[in-house]
Structure 1
């Protein structure tokens, strides 16, 4: 295989997995910080299909589109980084919005110890309704204490 193919695969995988750290930091320091006014809607009962918190996807979508735009002509690493950000965003939507918050019924039968632990960690995050003293800001990575065998 050509060397650039491996660079593109590495760019995609690195950006995908790095997004967990970016999402964690954004959630902890931006959403539970100076942009709490947007994120607060996510910690309250939802009325309707959308909430103000849904606007955060625009930030990540813009990053992905800019990377893909500048990498499009040669399909270089920037394009694949943008695709990695997009793939993480799709993962986040499916697991956070559809699976955890049940904004759709597509993943209702998804059940194993990892996904039960993910739900438990997110429940712990939502236990605090305010912006202070939160915990469990990630999606794919969370504290191992949630991996107990007999979870509720």
Structure 2
């Protein structure tokens, strides 16, 4: 029983933290980044040629928080170490899903043509279909509502949105 718990408790902490982080990231994206933290996040919604953007400071803050939990967890309170693993794992998911897949911040281009990855890709494209910080949809990074629901929400908004948001240089990505 002790062996089971020694694996079960860390697994539950890591998986639970990843799930919580998706909720927290979506909440903070909507209420902080599109609220009082817009000064940093605005760089993400504007065209730029730089490799880094001011918005990347949010990832640095989350990383510092994880490092602090690793330190506290290894010195005093071991469950915090596993929570830090979950936050770090979410950071890796965020990097691949958001920075890599959606915004193509890696050295090759991949546009998903079907399934879950296509849904995440389209949802975040629709997030950027509104100019400015108000009226956006889809604030999560790993979970995404289907594109048709998000388009309906955008159409119900009073702000204009760009209906070409789902289009890409590779038109087949959105037509399949």
Scaled by the length of structure 1, what TM-score is found?
0.89
Contact 2:112 2:121 in 1 (8 A): no
Does 2:111 correspond to 1:88? no
Equivalent residues, number: 150
> CA contact under 8 A between 2:69 and 2:83: conserved in structure 1?
yes
**What are structure 1's unaligned runs of at least 5 residues?**
none
> What residue number does 1:135 align with?
137
CA contact (8 A) 2:41 2:54 kept: yes
- Aligned CA distance change for structure 1 residues 106 and 71 (closer, same or farther; 3 Å): farther
Name the larger-Rg structure.
Answer: 2
Of 43-52 and 136-145, deviating more is 136-145
Aligned Cα root-mean-square deviation (Å): 2.1
Q: Secondary structure at the match of 2:174?
A: coil
Q: How much does 1:114 deviate?
A: 0.8
Aligned residue number for residue 174 of structure 2: 151
Q: Which moved more, 1:84-93 or 1:96-105?
A: 96-105
After superposition, the Cα gap between the structure-2 partners of 1:151 and 1:89, relative to the gap in structure 1 and judged at 3 Å, is same
The gaps in structure 2 that reach 5 residues or longer are 150-172
